[in-house]
Structure 1
Amino acid sequence: MTTDALVLDAAAQDLLFREARTANTFSDEPVTEEQIQAIYELVKYGPTAFNAQPMRVVLVRSDEARGRLVEHMMDGNKAKTLSAPLVAILAVDNEFHEELPTQLPHFPQAKDLFFTERPVRESTATLNGALQAGYFIVGVRAAGLAAGPMTGFNAAGINKEFFADGEHSVLAVVNIGKPGEDAWFPRSPRLAYDEVVTTV
């Protein structure tokens, strides 16, 4: 398949997708605050419903916080979470509607949907937070770093430990850094175009 149909050059396509992998080991090279800020400043423009931004990020840097997090990770995720230079907890703010810009044309509809119905807010936060999490992972790759996103954890435990206010819910935990030795598992196969796409 030719890459000529894409505006993004082949090297960038490889960096973000084809050669990018989920890292399971990391080098000890630190991930700086400047890198994470640059990642966020790029990915905050990714589209969501109503342009909502429900994703919240907790950067786990201290040994104390790392220990508290690892207690709630599945056994297979504990060692890599301990060894990653930086770990990000991606969560959603279920009260995200309070941050919606009131001057936007679609604000009245958003207000009707979100200001009175908590279940609607939660489902909307989860869907759009997951979109933002995907953008965040691509942004990590754009910074020349490897991301190790995980959902193998005790969500109730992490929510209690880090989001005791009850207004936030964890989506994913992402290890971030330069890949270490033997960082990659064999790549799993991907479905072919004709297995996924239909035209009506």
Structure 2
Amino acid sequence: MTITSSPTDHIAIDQQAQDLLFREARSANTFTDEPVGDDQVQAIYDLVKWAPTSYNQQPLRVVLVRTPEARERLVSLMYDSNQAKTRSAPLTAIMAADCDFHENLPSQFPIFPQAKDVFFADPAVREESARLNATLQVAYFILGVRAAGLAAGPMSGFDSQAVDREFFPDGKSKTLCVINIGRPGENAWWDRLPRLPHTDVFSTV
């Protein structure tokens, strides 16, 4: 099948919004010292919490790192290449998956009893589902940060087990990533790497 229309012809949001969320958005590596307030974080979450997850589960748990003492605890657990930018970011969020999310499943969901008592009775099944769906929520959160006019710098370079012990001592949550948040600073961007074309990703059966 030959595609003759422009891809942007089929996108409901305008070009400016497309650029803000996707085309011009980048993962920031430096930030200004402009603070990111709790009201901004709440506005971001109140937007992205409506995005879909399986069984409407909401396993994402977030620790906002604000105090100098907590920041140094986190920085010490980051890999060397991530330490300086984590130390200087105005806000850092530790994003984790709550493996006991099933305790908060909505009781009005049509298959709630089966989901809670059968599907998620196995801790291994719960953890797999928690990690998948919390990762979806992390992706939605990054888009929400961009929608708020801020930049996100997600990182996976850290000792995840040590971060779990330090910031989620109850043992229920597993850290997925750490995100620096703020206004992009000087030389914030690395060169953009290429993306796979549509033809390399999609097949039709």
TM-score band, normalised by shorter chain: over 0.9
Pair 1:183 & 2:205 matched: no
- 1:3-22 to 2 correspondences below 5 Å: 3-22=8-27
Q: What root-mean-square deviation, in Å, do the aligned CA atoms of Structure 1 and Structure 2 show?
A: 0.7
**Which of 90, 98, 110 does residue 95 from structure 2 map onto?**
90
Counterpart of 1:152?
157
CA distance in 2, matches of 1:72, 1:63: 15
Report the alpha carbon displacement of residue 108 of structure 1 after superposing the two structures with TM: 2.3
The residue type equivalent to 1:69 in the other structure is L
The residue type equivalent to 2:185 in the other structure is G
Report the alpha carbon displacement of residue 169 of structure 1 after superposing the two structures with TM: 0.7
Report the alpha carbon displacement of residue 2 of structure 1 after superposing the two structures with TM: 4.0
Superposition misfits of 4+ residues, deviation over 4 angstroms: none
1:112-156: CA deviations, max 9, x gaps? 111x21000000000000000000000000000000000100001
CA distance in 1, matches of 2:12, 2:130: 31
Between the aligned residues of both structures, percent identity stands at: 60
Counterpart of 1:169?
174
- 1:37-48 to 2 correspondences below 5 Å: 37-48=42-53
Counterpart of 2:38?
33
Pair 1:103 & 2:105 matched: no
Report the alpha carbon displacement of residue 106 of structure 1 after superposing the two structures with TM: 1.8
Report the alpha carbon displacement of residue 38 of structure 1 after superposing the two structures with TM: 0.3
Gaps of 5+ in 1: none
Counterpart of 2:74?
69
**Secondary structure in 2 matching 1:189:** coil
**Which of 191, 199, 203 does residue 198 from structure 1 map onto?**
203
Instruction: State the number of aligned residues.
Output: 199
CA distance in 2, matches of 1:167, 1:86: 24
The residue type equivalent to 2:119 in the other structure is L
- TM-score, length-scaled by structure 1: 0.98
Gaps of 5+ in 2: 1-5
Counterpart of 2:144?
139
CA distance in 2, matches of 1:103, 1:195: 42
The residue type equivalent to 1:73 in the other structure is M
**Which of 54, 60, 74 does residue 59 from structure 2 map onto?**
54
CA distance in 1, matches of 2:139, 2:109: 25
- TM-score, length-scaled by structure 2: 0.96
CA distance in 1, matches of 2:33, 2:78: 21
CA distance in 2, matches of 1:143, 1:183: 18
